[in-house]
Structure 1
Amino acid sequence: MSFVRRILTGVFLMSLTLGLLAYAGSLVFGAVQARMNAEPRSFPQRETVIAVNVATVEPQRISPVLNVFGEVQSRRTVDLRAAVGGTVIAVGENFVEGGRVTQGEMLLQIDPADAESALARVEADLQDALAAERDAERALQLARDELSASEAQAALRATALQRQRDLQSRGIGTAPEIEAAELAASTAEQTVLSRRQAVTQAEAQIDQAATRTARVRIDLAEAQRTLDGTTILAAFDGTLTAVGVAEGGRVTGNEQVAQLIDPSALEVSFRVSTAQYSSLIGPDGRLQGLPVAVNLDVAGVDLTASGQISRDSATVGEGQTGRLIFASITDAPGFRPGDFVTVAVEQPPMDGVALIPATALASDMTVLVVGEGERLRSAEVELIARQGDDVLIRAPDLAGAQVVAARTPLLGAGIRVRPISPADLAASARGEPPPPPAMIALDDDRRARLVAFVEGNSRMPAEAKSRILSQLEQPEVPAEIVENIESRMGS
Structure 2
Amino acid sequence: MRFLRRSLVGLFLVSLTVAALGLAAYVVRDAVQTRMARDGGSMPARERVYSADVVTVTPETVAPVLEAFGEVISRRTLEIRARTTGTVVDLADAFVEGGRVQAGQMLVTIDPTDLEDAVALARADVAEAEAEVSDAKAALALEQDDLASARRQYELRQTAANRQQDLLDRGVGLAAELENARLAESTAEQAVLAARSNLNAARARVSSAEIALERARIALAEAERRRDEATITADFTGALADVAALEGRLVTANEQLATLVDPDALEVNFRLSTAQYTRLLDEDGDLIPAEVTVSQDVSGIDLIATGSIARESAAVGDGQTGRLIFASLSNPAGFRPGDFVTVRVREPAIADVAALPSSAVSSGSTVLVLGDEDRLEEVPVDVARRQGETVLIRVGDLAGREVVAERTPTLGAGIRIRPQRAPADGAEAATPAIPQTITLDDDRRERLITFIERNQMMPDEAKARILTQLRKPEVPASMVERIESRMGG
Shorter-chain TM-score range: 0.7 to 0.9
Secondary structure of the residue aligned to 1:277 is helix
RMSD, matched Cα: 3.0
Q: CA deviation at 1:81?
A: 0.8
Amino acid in the other structure paired with 1:347 = E
What does 1:374-453 correspond to in 2, within 5 Å? 374-423=374-423
SS in 2 for 1:158: helix
The yes-or-no answer on 1:368 pairing with 2:397 is: no
Q: Structure 2 CA distance, aligned partners of 1:328 and 1:8?
A: 115
User: Alignment partner of 1:415: what SS?
Assistant: coil
Q: What secondary structure is seen at the aligned counterpart in 1 of 2:147?
A: helix
Q: How many residues align?
A: 429
Counterpart in the other structure of 2:301: 301
Q: Secondary structure in 2 aligned to 1:316?
A: coil
Aligned partner letter, 1:324: L
- What is the alpha-carbon distance in structure 1 between the residues aligned to residue 67 and residue 284 of structure 2? 24
In the alignment, the residues of structure 2 paired with residue 339 and residue 6 of structure 1 have an alpha-carbon distance, to the nearest angstrom, of 105
Amino acid at match of 2:65: V
Where in structure 2 are the equivalents of 1:229-378 lying within 5 Å? 229-378=229-378
Give SS of 1:204's match.
helix
Relative to 1, partners in 2 of residues 1:5 and 1:104: Cα closer, same or farther, differing over 3 Å? closer
Residue number in structure 1 paired with 2:68:
68
Q: Is 1:107 paired with 2:107? A: yes
Structure 1 window deviating more from structure 2 (98-107 vs 199-208): it is 199-208
Percent identity among equivalent residues?
A: 48
Q: CA deviation at 1:190?
A: 2.0
Structure 1 residues 22 and 358: CA distance shift in structure 2, 3 A: closer
Query: SS of the residue aligned with 1:47?
Result: coil
2:3, 2:231 → 1: CA distance? Answer: 139
- Identify if the C-alpha distance between structure 1 residues 370 and 21 changes in structure 2 by more than 3 Å, giving closer, same or farther: closer
TM-score normalised by L of structure 1: 0.79
1:441 maps to: none
- Give the SS at the match of 2:403: strand
- Structure 1 residue 116 corresponds to structure 2 residue 105: no
Question: Which residue number corresponds to residue 57 of structure 2?
Answer: 57
Q: Distance in 2 between matches of 1:69 and 1:18?
A: 88
Shift of 1:233: 0.9
Q: Which moved more, 1:381-390 or 1:258-267?
A: 381-390
For residues 60-99 of structure 1, the aligned pairs below 5 Å read 60-99=60-99
1:412 counterpart SS class: coil
> What SS is found at the alignment partner of 2:344?
strand
SS of the residue corresponding to residue 147 of structure 1 reads helix
- Structure 2 Cα separation of the partners of residues 398 and 277 of structure 1: 30
Aligned to 2:215: 215
**Secondary structure of the corresponding residue to residue 368 of structure 1:** strand
Aligned-partner SS, 1:177:
helix
State the alpha-carbon separation in 2 of the partners of residues 257 and 7 from structure 1. 123
Counterpart in 2 of 1:451?
none
Q: What TM-score comes out, normalization by structure 2 length?
A: 0.80
- Report Cα offsets for 1:325-348 as digits up to 9, x if no partner: 112112232121211222222223
Amino acid in structure 2 at the alignment position of 1:272: L
| Greater Cα offset, 40-49 or 194-203 | 40-49
Q: State the shift of 1:23 in Å.
A: 7.0
Mapping of residues 114-153 of structure 1, within 5 Å? 114-153=114-153
Q: Which runs of 5+ in 2 are unaligned?
A: 433-489
Alignment of 1:152-163 (within 5 A): 152-163=152-163
Could you tell me which amino acid in structure 2 is paired with residue 115 of structure 1?
L
Q: Deviations over 1:353-401 (max 9, x none)?
A: 1111223222332222122222211222222223222122211311122
Q: CA deviation at 1:264?
A: 1.4
**Corresponding residue for residue 202 of structure 1:** 202
| 1:34 Cα offset (Å) | 4.6
Match for residue 45 of structure 1?
45
Distance 1:353 1:71 in 2: 33
Unmatched segments (≥5 aa) in structure 1 = 433-491
Displacement after TM superposition at 1:295 (Å): 1.5
What is the letter of the counterpart of residue 389 of structure 2?
D
Give 3-state SS (helix, strand or coil) of 2:356's partner. strand
Tell me the secondary structure at the aligned position of residue 248 of structure 1: coil
Q: Say which one has the larger Rg.
A: 1
Residue 112 of structure 1 deviates from its aligned partner by: 0.5
The secondary structure found in structure 2 opposite 1:331 is: coil
**Secondary structure at 2:190 match in 1:** helix
Structure 1 residue identity aligned to 2:404: V
Change in Cα spacing, 1:339 to 1:370, as seen in structure 2 (3 Å) is same
Q: Give SS of 2:326's match.
A: strand
* Residues 419 and 22 (structure 1), Cα distance of their counterparts in 2 relative to 1, 3 Å cut: closer
CA distance in structure 1 between the partners assigned to 2:107 and 2:6 by the alignment? 132
Which residue in the other structure is 1:167 paired with?
167
Change (3 A) 1:29 1:349: closer
* C-alpha distance in structure 2 between counterparts of 1:252 and 1:280, whole Å: 49
Which piece of structure 1 moves more, 182-191 or 90-99? 182-191
The answer to whether structure 1 residue 176 and structure 2 residue 176 are counterparts is yes
Residue 116 of structure 1 aligns with an amino acid whose one-letter code is E
What amino acid does structure 2 have at the position aligned with 1:267? E
- Deviation per residue, 1:126-177 (Å, 9 max, x gap): 1121112112211211221111111111111111111111111011223232
